[in-house]
């Protein structure tokens, strides 16, 4: 009998098992993630399945396991944020490792649309759901989601019993401020937001800690809390730069505020980075690489958050992890051209 699988035939689990030199049961566990197996074996099985062009019969699998091999992702502002693609991409890549797909819906911040989205995902009998936000905040999980496993992404939950993944906001503040200190800056301002959300609170704590660790006093008058975005950045920039004792460097809550600070600096005849160093947060490349000089920033881990959330969800479904884990992800400092040694 010819052991080669004909191109016209549907490749099955037994074909993958024979080619990988393992049992069909091992192939099933490797593809579904339902049970832990040797990592090298799992890698070999997945590579073999891909080489043979194996695709699961999802209808048959669903009938046997009462699963649909779909994951819901419900967010608030997918349509209007540049970060959503990265978070969804990470979620899709993690789901693909479990032969599953992601159904992503956007509530646009509207409660009624969110309820409609929940009903839609429940009607599709998703195996679990990622409840995501596009900026770090505290959320309450809707009671309509009590029947499925839920993992929170880029937010922390007021409900107990739900895992969550967020950026390490405190470390963002420490790393950004330390970057300015490493160039010799001691007169450092902070352009932040007035809303006391976890992102703002964590970054300010990190800012203060970095200064304290370097034995630099915090000048409270160099902390300007305004609205988010470029407009808030311009307001913060004027508050900080139209002073006789202006700072030589500014840590900005996000890249949009940093853009506003750039605009004010130009209006006041200040050169970046010669007269003023600036660092942001997000790595929104429409801004960071368009500004001249290009903006140093701290990149938020949207892809990693999406990947972690879905991986955690499948681990909870299989019983390998408890539904109460929390993960702080370290963020990457991206050094460009907006920070230099101060003149003073």
pLDDT at site 121: 93
Please give the CATH architecture assigned to the domain spanning 169-300. 3-Layer(aba) Sandwich (3.40)
Question: What is the reported pLDDT for 9?
Answer: 57
pLDDT level of residue 40 (50, 70, 90 thresholds):
confident
pLDDT at position 1 is 38
Dump pLDDT digits (tens) for 194-219: 998 899 999 999 999 999 999 999 99
Would you kindly state where each structural domain of the chain is located, as residue ranges? 13-55, 66-166+301-329, 169-300
The share of the chain scoring above pLDDT 90, in percent, equals: 65
* Range 13-55: architecture per CATH: Orthogonal Bundle (1.10)
Distance separating alpha carbons of residues 204 and 154, to the nearest angstrom = 18
Res 4 pLDDT > 70: no
Instruction: Give the distance from CA 280 to its chain's centroid.
Output: 16
pLDDT band at 82 (very low <50, low <70, confident <90, very high): confident
Q: Residue 300's pLDDT band (boundaries 50, 70, 90)?
A: very high
pLDDT given at position 13: 81
Q: Are 258 and 268 in contact (CB under 8 A)?
A: no
Burial (CB count within 10 angstroms: exposed 0-12, middle 13-18, buried 19+), residue 214: middle
1 burial class (0-12, 13-18, 19+ CB within 10 angstroms)?
exposed
Domains 13-55 and 66-166+301-329 share a fold: no
Give the residue-averaged pLDDT of 302-321: 90
Domain 66-166+301-329 has CATH 3.40.50.2300: yes
């Amino acid at each position: 009998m010819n052991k080669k699988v004909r191109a016209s035939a549907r490749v099955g689990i037994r074909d993958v098992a024979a080619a990988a030199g393992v049992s069909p049961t091992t192939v099933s566990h490797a593809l579904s993630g339902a049970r832990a197996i040797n990592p090298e074996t799992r890698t070999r099985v997945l590579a073999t399945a891909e080489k043979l062009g194996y695709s699961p019969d999802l209808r048959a699998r669903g009938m046997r396991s009462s699963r649909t091999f779909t994951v819901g992702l419900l967010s608030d502002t997918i349509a209007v944020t540049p970060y959503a693609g990265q978070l969804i991409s990470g979620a899709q890549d993690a789901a693909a490792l479990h032969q599953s797909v992601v159904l992503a819906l956007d509530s646009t911040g509207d409660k009624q649309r969110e309820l409609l989205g929940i009903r839609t995902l429940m009607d599709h009998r998703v195996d679990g759901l990622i409840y995501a936000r596009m900026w770090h905040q505290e959320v309450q999980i809707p009671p309509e989601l009590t029947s499925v496993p839920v993992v929170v992404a880029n937010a922390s939950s007021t409900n107990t019993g739900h895992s969550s993944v967020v950026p390490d906001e405190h470390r963002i503040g420490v790393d950004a401020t330390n970057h300015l200190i490493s160039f010799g800056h001691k007169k450092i301002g902070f352009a932040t937001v007035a809303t006391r959300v976890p992102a703002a609170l964590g970054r300010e704590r990190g800012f203060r800690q970095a200064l304290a660790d370097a034995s630099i006093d915090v000048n409270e008058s160099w902390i300007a809390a305004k609205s988010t975005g470029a407009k808030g950045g311009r307001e913060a920039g004027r508050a900080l730069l139209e002073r006789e004792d202006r700072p030589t460097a500014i840590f900005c809550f996000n890249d949009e505020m940093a853009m506003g600070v750039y605009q004010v600096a130009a209006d006041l005849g200040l050169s970046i980075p010669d007269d003023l160093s600036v660092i942001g947060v997000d790595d929104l490349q429409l801004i960071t690489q368009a500004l001249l000089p290009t903006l140093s920033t701290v990149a938020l881990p949207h892809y990693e958050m999406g990947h972690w959330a879905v991986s955690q969800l499948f681990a909870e479904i299989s019983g390998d992890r408890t539904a109460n884990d929390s993960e702080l992800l370290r963020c990457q400092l991206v050094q460009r051209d907006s920070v230099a040694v101060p003149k003073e």
